[in-house]
Structure 1
Amino acid sequence: MAGGGNAIRGSRVGAGPMGEAERGEAAPRQLVTYFCSHDHRSVVAFSTEAQVPESWDCPKCGLPASLDCDNPPPAPKIEPYKTHLAYVKERRSDAEAAEILDEALNLLRSRRKSGDIVF
């Protein structure tokens, strides 16, 4: 690339160094360490005026982390997908299911005898 301009690449006219003087004073901070069950340590900076949360999601594995290094929270239990039948079995006992089935079969048989159902 030819040319001997005085411009510095990546800067604009009037741009100067970004320092404390231009941005103002930084708010006082406190560093808080959280621990997850995979032995990860996450250090998070909070304002000294902010209320520090008891738990924080670990940025490395996504598990919940807490302030207690000796007793980190366990990983949440992931329940498997339930089928429609599993939900029905939670709501109905075997006796209730048998009773409902008998009612449905009797209704079906009575319709067949009367000729309401055509196959």
Structure 2
Amino acid sequence: MAGGNAIRGTRVGAGPMGEAERGEAAPRNRIPFWCANLHETRVAFASDADVPELWDCPRCGLPAGQDRQNPPPAPRTEPYKTHLAYVRERRSDADGDALLEEALTRLHQRRGA
């Protein structure tokens, strides 16, 4: 007895798919982009589409531009700062000592010391 699967051996998207079934492809332009590491990336855009000034390089992730001789520079990355580093930017050591003294005074008052 057959398994009852009438479309055995086929799956979604299987079979010959030609231009007649998909329709006409839009006219395209392949635009080259270069990153600071001189990786070339060619991206296909519709001929009537606006081409962006920058494109991310798929190899290294740096921004890429259309001028091979003058690729865009790598973005400057800021080092990771801890919470304490941000607090120290906002407060001086004297402010920190005053806040610590105030907190310790409140703690001693709560404990009855």
Same structural fold, with TM-score higher than 0.5 when normalized by the shorter chain: yes
CA deviations on 1:84-117 (whole Å, 9 max, x unpaired) are 21121122122322322232344445x2xxxx41
Task: Name the CA distance, whole Å, in 1 between partners of 2:93 and 2:65.
Answer: 44
Count of aligned pairs between the two proteins: 103
C-alpha root-mean-square deviation of aligned residues, in Å? Answer: 2.8
Kindly, what percent of the aligned residue pairs are identical? 61
Partner of 1:97: 96
Superposed, 1:28-47 pairs within 5 Å as: 28-47=27-46
Partner of 1:4: none
Greater Rg over alpha carbons, structure:
1
- SS of the residue corresponding to residue 61 of structure 1 reads coil
Q: 1:105 to 1:22 in 2, by over 3 A?
A: closer
The one-letter amino acid paired with 2:111 is I
Task: Name the CA distance, whole Å, in 1 between partners of 2:82 and 2:23.
Answer: 59
Partner of 1:56: 55
- 1:117 to 2:111 alignment: yes
CA deviations on 1:22-79 (whole Å, 9 max, x unpaired) are 4332211111111111110100010011111111111111221112222222223333
Structure 2 unaligned segments of length 5 or more: list them.
1-8
- SS of the residue corresponding to residue 94 of structure 2 reads helix
Structure 1 range deviating more: 84-93 or 31-40: 84-93
Task: Name the CA distance, whole Å, in 1 between partners of 2:90 and 2:40.
Answer: 44
